Amino acid sequence: MTTTKNTLSEAAFLAIDGARLELVEVALDIHAHPELNYQEQHAAGLLSGTLERHGFQVERGVGGVDTAFTATLSGGAGEGPTVAVLAEYDALPEIGHGCGHNLIAMAAVGTALGLKANLDKLPGKVMVIGTPAEEGGGGKIKMLDAGVFDKVDAVLSSHPSSNRTVIPTDIPMGESWSLAMVGYRYIFHGKAAHAAAMPHEGINALNGVIHLFTGIDALRQHLRDDTRIHGVITDGGMAPNVVPEYAAANFMLRCRDRDYLSDVIVGRILRAAEGAAAMTGCELEVQEYYPFYENECPNGVIAGLLLDNAGVSGLALNEPLPGRQGSAASTDFGNVSQTLPAYELRYAVSEKPVASHSREMADTATTEYALNAAINVAKTMTLTACDLLLNSTFLMAAKTEFDQRSGF
């Protein structure tokens, strides 16, 4: 096995290091052309075109999503499982790649090239799945529903994570590594009137939104500690001398317990909105604008393989901090992890702490430190994918653990 791993790593690392300039160019190009969810035409074209030039069979617009794609190669050692690596490439409004998705895309392409270098030794199929719209659109959810993941046996992904690289393997049953989330748009319909001459003829929709914020703030102390509720006013009137007839706010509702989120939080916020509408005389309209993101379910078997391969790949690791691992954010990777064995490797992109979804992270995502980290992540995921393809015991164990966690 050692000789095999040495042979695999030598070929993979040679291919990834040899393509370093190309991989860095991919990351910087995506970073320089930030695109919002479902608008990632440039990034999707760049990534799918790069993989196509390297011999991958590319299918664009998969799952009915214009900016999604798959890139597949069959191994030269016969039939076997399919292991997929995910690429994300959408950006955030105003601050661009403040979540470092350009690095996720870079690592996915690097992994693909490392796997291609060992293709003659591998059974089954290797696949890159281009998944748009993680930041708000739930691209992976649409692709899951459309069957894009149906023939995939295991999934690997990565994500920048401030200044610590941790791969915990002792994961208690029932533990989730992200917050489940759903988003709603609360729209208040009022009646316009002159704000000075005839305010009594108007119904102030903005007051409805303000009362909703006040109601939510009063509600926070009566919800679980792991609840997160945050919103912005998107519409609040156009002129101060006109009573606003239309006002709206977008809210994200989150909790580590998806059932508590769906069964308790959603209903209580709805009642607060209904109360705000009743207080102001507005009509309330509610729209789901953010699909339901499931909790991330980590797979300890895949984590163990990544941990072993990180040492071979030169990926520096930190010791896990005490307490719950994972993230307090939300991701549609959670939906993937609730469907099949999967693991998202979170890794340091800076020597100092840097907040996600910030301009500082956007700047960090182009640094030499971050780019080098993405290269080492690609090497780590390459060897882990090889383990899953070559050793049926590993994949069977990952599937067994997935079944156990799903039934917990």
What is the SS3 assignment for 337-390?
Answer: HCCCCEEEEEECCCCCCCCCCCHHHHHHCCCHHHHHHHHHHHHHHHHHHHHHHH
Q: How many CB atoms lie within 10 A of CB 253?
A: 25
| Cα distance between residue 365 and residue 379, in whole Å | 19
**β pairing state of 283-293 and 180-189:** antiparallel
- H or E element, residue 49: helix 41-53
pLDDT, position 408: 52
Helix (H, G, I), strand (E, B) or coil at 37: coil
The per-residue pLDDT for 136 is: 87
End-to-end Cα spacing for the chain: 34
Residue found by looking up tokens 């895309």 in the block: 105
Indicate where the chain has its CATH 3.40.630.10 domain(s). 2-176+295-406
Model confidence, pTM: 0.93
278-289: buried (b, 16+ CB within 10 Å) or exposed (e) per residue? eebebebeeeeb
Instruction: Specify the CATH architecture of the domain 180-293.
Output: 2-Layer Sandwich (3.30)
| pLDDT tens digits for range 124-182 | 999 999 999 999 899 999 999 999 999 999 999 999 998 999 898 888 887 888 999 99
DSSP structure class, residue 1: -
**Across the beta sheet with 125-130, what order do the strands follow?**
57-60, 69-74, 125-130, 82-87, 154-160, 342-347
Instruction: Give residue 1's pLDDT.
Output: 43
CATH architecture of 2-176+295-406: 3-Layer(aba) Sandwich (3.40)
CATH 3.30.70.360 segments of the chain: 180-293
Give the Cα separation of 237 and 235 in Å (integer): 6
Ranges of the chain whose pLDDT falls below 70: 1-3, 323-326, 407-408
